[in-house]
Chain A
Amino acid sequence: MFESLTSKLQNAFRHLRGMGKLTEANMADALREVRIALLDADVHYKVARDFLDRVKAKALGQEVIQSVQPGQQVIKIIYDELVALLGTIHADLDLGGNPASILMVGLHGSGKTTTSGKLARLLHKQGRQPLLVAADVYRPAAMDQLETLGRQLGIPTYAPRGEKDVLAIARGALDFARSHNRNVLIFDTAGRLQIDEPLVQELVRLRDLVHPREILLVLDAATGQEAVNVATHFDQALHITGAILTKLDGDARGGAALSFRAVVGKPIKFVGTGEKLDDLEPFHPERMASRILGMGDIVSLVEKA
Chain B
Amino acid sequence: MKGLFAKFKAGLQKTHSKLVHEIKRILSRSPRLDATTLEELEQALLAADFGVATTQEIVEAVRRAYETQGPAGLDVAAIAEREVARILASPRTELRKAAHMTTVVSLVGVNGTGKTTTAAKLAHAVRQQGHTALLAACDTFRAAAIEQLKLWGQRLGVEVVAGAYGADPAAVAHDAVAAARARGIDYVFLDTAGRLHTKHNLMQELQKVHRVVGRQVPGAPHEVLLVVDAPTGMNALQQAREFHKAVPLTGLVVTKLDGTSKGGMVVAIQRELGVPVKFIGLGEQPDDLQPFDPEQFARALFAES
A220 at the interface (CB under 8 A from B): yes
A residues lining the B interface (CB < 8 Å):
36, 39-42, 44-45, 107-111, 113-114, 117, 138-142, 144-149, 152, 193-195, 220, 222-227, 229-230, 247, 249-253, 255-256, 275
Interface stretch among B23-31, B95-103, B173-181, B230-238? B230-238
Residue of A nearest to B238 (CB): A251
B110 at the interface (CB under 8 A from A): yes
**A-B contacts, CB under 8 A, total:** 135
5 contacts between A and B (CB under 8 A): A108-B112, A141-B151, A226-B230, A247-B111, A250-B197
Q: Which A residues touch B259, using CB under 8 A?
A: 107, 193-195, 226
What is the distance, in angstroms, from A257's C-beta to the closest C-beta of chain B?
A: 12
What is the distance, in angstroms, from B256's C-beta to the closest C-beta of chain A?
A: 6
User: Which secondary structure dominates chain A's binding surface?
Assistant: loop
User: Which secondary structure dominates chain B's binding surface?
Assistant: loop
Given contacts A36-B52, A107-B259, A193-B259, contact A249 B196 (CB under 8 A): yes
Residue of B nearest to A114 (CB): B143
Residue of A nearest to B197 (CB): A250
Taking CB atoms and an 8 Å cut-off, the chain B residues in 130-173 that contact chain A are 141-144, 147-148, 150-152, 155
User: Per a CB cutoff under 8 Å, which of B52, B112, B147 touches A110?
Assistant: B112
Given contacts A36-B52, A195-B14, A249-B196, contact A255 B233 (CB under 8 A): yes
Which of A41, A42, A252 has its CB near the most chain B CB atoms (within 10 A)? A252
A222 pairs with B110, CB closer than 8 A = yes
Q: Which B residues touch A147, using CB under 8 A?
A: 144
What is the distance, in angstroms, from A133's C-beta to the closest C-beta of chain B?
A: 16
Which of A108, A138, A145 has its CB near the most chain B CB atoms (within 10 A)? A108
Given contacts A109-B229, A140-B151, contact A225 B235 (CB under 8 A): no
Given contacts A138-B284, A249-B198, A275-B142, contact A107 B260 (CB under 8 A): no
Taking CB atoms and an 8 Å cut-off, the chain B residues in 221-244 that contact chain A are 229-236, 238-239
B258 at the interface (CB under 8 A from A): yes
